[in-house]
């Protein structure tokens, strides 16, 4: 569960920062919608990282603990739900 919380938090921070940058560059978007976009993009990146994390080559070269696939999928679900909630509250 600690890994899930850490991955979700890291994704949320990156998603919020990306959303703020998107909002600043593309001024016609609501702030909450931009944050939701950032969270959804972060969820997509985490799902792609599932494939990367499944490579044995990475785990042979590092001493990091191996994260299971469900951690990545669960973190992506958390970020997607958070983005949907933020978008619904802001609209």
Residues 36-70 have pLDDT tens digits of 999 999 999 999 988 888 877 777 887 877 788 89
Q: State the average pLDDT for the chain.
A: 90
For residues 26 and 34, is the Cβ–Cβ distance under 8 A?
yes
What's the pLDDT tens digit per position in 13-30? Answer: 999 999 999 999 988 889
53-77 burial, b at 16+ Cβ within 10 Å, e below that, comes to beeeeeeeeeeeeebeeebbebbbe
What is the value of pTM for the model shown? 0.86
Instruction: Name the domain count of the chain.
Output: 1
- Domain of residue 17 covers 2-90
CA 41 to chain centre: 7
The tokens for 51 are 């494939």
Helical H segments across the chain, by residue range: 2-25, 31-53, 56-60, 69-90
């Amino acid at each position: 569960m600690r890994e899930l919380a850490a991955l979700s938090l890291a994704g949320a921070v990156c998603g919020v920062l990306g959303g703020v940058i998107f909002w600043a560059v593309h001024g016609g978007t609501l702030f909450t919608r931009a944050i939701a976009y950032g969270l959804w993009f972060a969820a997509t990146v985490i799902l792609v990282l599932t494939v990367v994390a499944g490579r044995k080559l990475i785990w042979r070269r590092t001493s990091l603990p191996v994260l299971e696939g469900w951690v990545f999928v669960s973190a992506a679900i958390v970020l997607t739900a958070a983005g949907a909630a933020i978008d619904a509250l802001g609209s």
